[in-house]
Amino acid sequence: MSVLSPLRKLRKRWKAFWYVNWIKTYYFNLKKFPFKTAMKLPVFIYRDYKLTNISGKVVIDAPIKRGMIGFGHSFEVRKRSAGLGEIVIAGTVVFKGNVHIERDVYFQVGYGAYCEIGNFSSLGSQVIFICRERIVLGDYVRVTYQSQVLDSIFHQLIDLKTNTKKPKTAPVELGNYNWIGNRSTIMKGTKTPDHTTVGSNSLCNKDYTDLGNYIVIGGVPAKLLQTEIKRDWEGEQYILDNLLVK
């Protein structure tokens, strides 16, 4: 092993130490968890993330580890931040393991809403994530750069034929090992099976689970493009697991 290898590791840890906003990190953990859990610092808040509202409930349904959940953790090629990161947790968030959220993500779980994020799932930079009813992400879900995950259309629509109001919200459920391409929009009512790949610039707005696993969907609105195909998760396992763990 090269003598430079330990030095590189030390440099990486030193750099990560300075990227963490320790005041906000201690504040968040002490505010949301029992003291014994909080002192393990399971949640890291990086740099300039804004804690707009953290009055809701945060649950970690997994063995507690230091830095297992990160807001503002830089794991993409692009490293600079625009200072847009914001956290609004007024409802309930359940983390099922290691979860990391990139820089400049707007993360909102509204009053009375329920959000669950699976082990080793992540949100890429400049993602808009808004939960007003229920959003569940399985394990190893990758929502990439400038995508949106929304379970609400935010404004009331009226069907003039029947004079009835359309529902503003509907649950969103993304299966395990989902890969959401950049600049895609996941709308209310979206459900995907395991091992789904969504092409970039797509709009998903319905239940796709009857298409089976190992599929590629894409377009506006998204439709089936290919079957019997998946991302090489096994080949990337070591990189992914170490990238999202402190």
Looking only at the bridges linking them, the beta strands covering 57-60 and 92-95 are parallel
Task: Return the higher-pLDDT residue of 230 and 178.
Answer: 178
At 201-228, the pLDDT tens digits run: 999 999 999 999 999 999 999 999 999 9
Query: From residue 49, how far is each of 25, 36, 177 by CA, in Å?
Result: 10, 24, 27
Please state, in angstroms and rounded to a whole number, the distance separating the CA atoms of residues 102 and 86.
11
Residue at 164 is within a domain: yes
Average pLDDT over residues 1-25: 70
Q: State the number of CA atoms in the 13 A half-sphere of 199 facing the CB.
A: 14
Residue at 239 is within a domain: yes
Residue at 203 is within a domain: yes
Residue at 155 is within a domain: no
Predicted local confidence at residue 223, as pLDDT: 97
Predicted local confidence at residue 8, as pLDDT: 63
Residue at 130 is within a domain: yes
Instruction: Give me the number of domains the chain comprises.
Output: 1
Looking only at the bridges linking them, the beta strands covering 121-123 and 142-143 are parallel
Average pLDDT over residues 110-134: 97
Closest CA to 143 of 109, 97, 189, 192: 192
Residue at 168 is within a domain: yes
Residue at 192 is within a domain: yes
Q: Which domain holds residue 95?
A: 4-150+160-243
Say what percent of the chain tops pLDDT 90. Answer: 78
CATH number at residue 178: 2.160.10.10
Residue at 89 is within a domain: yes
